[in-house]
Amino acid sequence: MAVHGGACAKFDPSIGEDCSYACGTGTVESALTDLERIEKFNCGFGSHLTIDQEVECEASFMSSKNMSFGAVGAISNVFHPSKVARHLASNNWWKQRDLLHPLILVGRGAEKYAVRNDFPTCNPEELISNQAKDSYEKYLHRMLHPYDTHDTVGAISINVNNMEAESATSSGGIVLKHSGRLGHSCVYGSGTWSERRQYEEPGDLYSERTISIVSTGHGEHLVKADFCRGIATRVLDDEEGILYSDIIREFLRDKMESRARFGGIAMIADKFNERMSLEFLVFHNTRYLPAAVRGRDNKIQVYESKFDPDSCTDDKFVIESFRL
Amino acid sequence: MAVHGGACAKFDPSIGEDCSYACGTGTVESALTDLERIEKFNCGFGSHLTIDQEVECEASFMSSKNMSFGAVGAISNVFHPSKVARHLASNNWWKQRDLLHPLILVGRGAEKYAVRNDFPTCNPEELISNQAKDSYEKYLHRMLHPYDTHDTVGAISINVNNMEAESATSSGGIVLKHSGRLGHSCVYGSGTWSERRQYEEPGDLYSERTISIVSTGHGEHLVKADFCRGIATRVLDDEEGILYSDIIREFLRDKMESRARFGGIAMIADKFNERMSLEFLVFHNTRYLPAAVRGRDNKIQVYESKFDPDSCTDDKFVIESFRL
């Protein structure tokens, strides 16, 4: 289980501490619920303001079990959009009626869904923090580069008992975004991916591999690259034990426009033919990506990955990888 | 240039005539504008009602030129959502400010965008047709199978002078959908794809291939399969001249869950090493897919592709393909 606090422009040691706390709550859902309460994260209360000075949140949830997925976008009436996304992903209402299960609900419809399913609601203004107001003022005056701010948070987990994976992201979007703008959290495959794949081996044996991955950063570029699904597919397709860092580097080279801004990812996966050998990895090109991880021993470790693009000559990103 | 009237459950010869008329208007934008005015199509005026008896439209537009893309979803205040999607795709406002260009706007934000950019707006009730009200009543009483209705319309074109492609879809979504539900039109890669790809050849020569494709049908399944981008990528990656129908069959086998409901596609592409040799293709597993095509000679032909799943033994879909 791991939690990241979003691609950041500046180092702030208190963010790692908050991630650590959220990581201890036990599930990706409870971890995000935790971050959605804290002003300094760009999700739930504290989300960046749109250009119209409102808050519109988005969140998604995916489980490797049945590949269930739910996302809500442009939702302004709940403190915890990630709970609504998770509820949508696992709601049996449509299945019972042989109707198509919606993947994404947005705007007024998402808000109605929250009300109908008894999520505590709030006035949109209650999601606006003083810090978000200050950011809005600051960036409105330097319109050209509003992107050195805080981004989408995420949580990933692999249950070592049944090897099922879960992942979730929650975001207030980019500061000064047009109202109604959907980011990568809302797009299937872009913001979050959890998959458990079984491979048939010679002699009627089955091998399997599981991955859980979330992305943070400049949503439109992540959407165009089909980011999380794209990386997950390459990882799960690989049978030669290529290093995850090499897979990701190659993916960025193939799929991202060279001038595309990016952000970061957090990922947990097990190696092919090395079941029970989990690896946690963060990869980013922002100055800072704070994360916390809880391994098999239940100990939580904080990883504060830093990067100085100015002092970098070759690859314009940093990768950190740890055995769990 | 081609226009299709959506995957349909029943044959209706008047739909082919309307497609033919729309096909004569000259561009994918004007063709969709045309269909969005006509009650019998599931887009703009006449869109299926949500379970709350409202109309929420979605539309997307993509051009191979700079791979520009725009989509609007859960929008209820304009007669022509496809025009708003096209406007968003080509709007330079963000580029001029070095801001991230949004791909998708939904709900209130999409409606504000339409107002700010001077699209004629309407009251949401003005989009509700009598036919849509009747469908709502009918399907509410047989909740279990509301999917034998009319689906997303689309238009595709390849300009034979510069070989740039354009594609657009417009939809009122599935009848009885939850309000706020986004379908495949809103998801990058799923509802529409236009791409022109250049390949380096030996001896400093360049070869190129162009494709324009739109999908119609059960949105969530199309989203999960990354439908239009997935097929386009396989077509553009192929260097062996595999039949398009075989590429599509293989794609369906690999990427669609076996019990997934599907719909149909319309596609125009040129063959590798056969520039200027355009092929038009429809592929569906619904009973009917009406389409009209305008070829090089400017003559418009109507193709009304029919399919009887009950009399079919092998592949559960039909394909029709024509040289343009």
* pLDDT confidence bin for B187, thresholds 50/70/90: very high
Question: Distance, in angstroms, between A107 CA and closest chain B CA?
Answer: 5
Residue with tokens 């989009």: B127
Q: What is the pLDDT of residues A154-200, one digit of tens each?
A: 999 999 888 899 999 999 998 889 999 999 999 999 999 999 998 87
* pLDDT confidence bin for A11, thresholds 50/70/90: confident
Question: Distance, in angstroms, between B62 CA and closest chain A CA?
Answer: 12
Which of B67, B95, B98, B103 to probe the A interface (max A CBs under 10 A)?
B103
Catalytic residues of A: 152
- The sheet that has B57-63: what strands, in order across it? B104-106, B69-75, B57-63, B165-171, B153-158, B2-4, B288-294, B300-306
- CB contact under 8 Å between B181 and A112, yes or no, is no
Per-residue confidence (pLDDT) for residue B199, from 0 to 100: 80
Per-residue confidence (pLDDT) for residue A146, from 0 to 100: 47
Question: Distance, in angstroms, between A296 CA and closest chain B CA?
Answer: 32
Asked whether residue B251 carries a pLDDT value surpassing 60, the answer given is: yes
Q: What is the pLDDT of residues A37-72, one digit of tens each?
A: 999 999 999 999 999 999 999 999 999 998 999 999
* pLDDT confidence bin for A314, thresholds 50/70/90: low
- CB contact under 8 Å between B105 and A188, yes or no, is no
Cα separations in angstroms, B272 against A45, B233, B238, B247: 53, 13, 8, 14
Per-residue confidence (pLDDT) for residue A255, from 0 to 100: 92
Per-residue confidence (pLDDT) for residue B202, from 0 to 100: 76
Q: Evaluate whether A293 touches A324 at the Cβ level (below 8 Å).
A: yes
Q: Evaluate whether A11 touches A288 at the Cβ level (below 8 Å).
A: yes
Picking from A132, A206, A130, A226, the residue whose alpha carbon sits closest to that of residue A163 is A206
Nearest CB to B109 within list A113, A176, A179: A179
Asked whether residue A304 carries a pLDDT value surpassing 60, the answer given is: yes
What torsion do the CA atoms of A304, A310, A311, A315 make, to the nearest 10 degrees?
A: 80
Per-residue confidence (pLDDT) for residue A189, from 0 to 100: 95
Picking from B74, B67, B104, the residue whose alpha carbon sits closest to that of residue B211 is B67
* pLDDT confidence bin for A258, thresholds 50/70/90: confident
Q: Where are the alpha helices (DSSP H) in A238-304?
A: 244-255
Name chain B contacts of A261, Cβ cutoff 8 Å. Answer: 100
Per-residue confidence (pLDDT) for residue B260, from 0 to 100: 78
Name chain B contacts of A218, Cβ cutoff 8 Å. Answer: 100
CB neighbours of residue B81 within 10 Å: 35
Q: Which of A135-139, A202-206, B75-79 is predicted least confidently? A: A202-206
Asked whether residue A310 carries a pLDDT value surpassing 80, the answer given is: no
CB neighbours of residue A118 within 10 Å: 8
Catalytic residues of B: 152
Name chain A contacts of B101, Cβ cutoff 8 Å. Answer: 220
Asked whether residue B62 carries a pLDDT value surpassing 70, the answer given is: yes
Comparing B91 with A66, the larger pLDDT belongs to: B91
Residue with tokens 């309460």: A37
Q: At what angle do helices A28-37 and A13-23 cross, to 10 degrees?
A: 140
- CB contact under 8 Å between B105 and A50, yes or no, is no
- CB contact under 8 Å between B107 and A107, yes or no, is yes
Structural domain span for residue B295: 2-323
Q: What is the pLDDT of residues A90-123, one digit of tens each?
A: 999 988 887 889 999 999 999 999 999 999 999 9
For range A259-287, the mean pLDDT: 85
Query: A103: which residues sit within 8 A by CB, 6+ positions away?
Result: A69, A70, A71, A188, B182, B220, B223, B224
Name chain A contacts of B74, Cβ cutoff 8 Å. Answer: 106-109
Q: Evaluate whether A268 touches A212 at the Cβ level (below 8 Å).
A: yes
Q: How many helices (H) and strands (E) does chain A have?
A: 9, 13
Q: Which of A164-173, A246-255, B93-102 is predicted least confidently? A: B93-102
Per-residue confidence (pLDDT) for residue B145, from 0 to 100: 53
For range B47-76, the mean pLDDT: 94
Cβ-Cβ pairs closer than 8 A, A with B, add up to 139
Q: Which of A207-211, B8-12, B166-170 is predicted least confidently? A: B8-12
Which of B69, B108, B193 to probe the A interface (max A CBs under 10 A)?
B108
- CB contact under 8 Å between A109 and B73, yes or no, is no
Which of A105, A117, A182 to probe the B interface (max B CBs under 10 A)?
A182
Asked whether residue A144 carries a pLDDT value surpassing 60, the answer given is: no
For range B280-303, the mean pLDDT: 91
Burial class (CB in 10 A: 0-12, 13-18, 19+), B218: buried
**Number of domains composing chain A:** 1
Burial class (CB in 10 A: 0-12, 13-18, 19+), B204: exposed
Asked whether residue A126 carries a pLDDT value surpassing 80, the answer given is: yes
Q: What is the pLDDT of residues B192-232, one digit of tens each?
A: 999 999 887 777 777 889 999 999 998 999 999 999 999 99
- CB contact under 8 Å between B223 and A188, yes or no, is yes
Q: Compute the distance between CA of residue A299 and CA of residue A292 in angstroms, rounded to an integer.
A: 10
Nearest CB to B106 within list A50, A180, A261: A180
- CB contact under 8 Å between A109 and B107, yes or no, is yes
Per-residue confidence (pLDDT) for residue B142, from 0 to 100: 67
- Return mean pLDDT, chain B: 90
SS3 A104: strand
Q: Where are the alpha helices (DSSP H) in A264-313?
A: none
Q: Evaluate whether B219 touches A100 at the Cβ level (below 8 Å).
A: yes
- Tell me the percentage of chain B whose pLDDT exceeds 90: 65
Picking from A49, A88, A65, the residue whose alpha carbon sits closest to that of residue A177 is A49
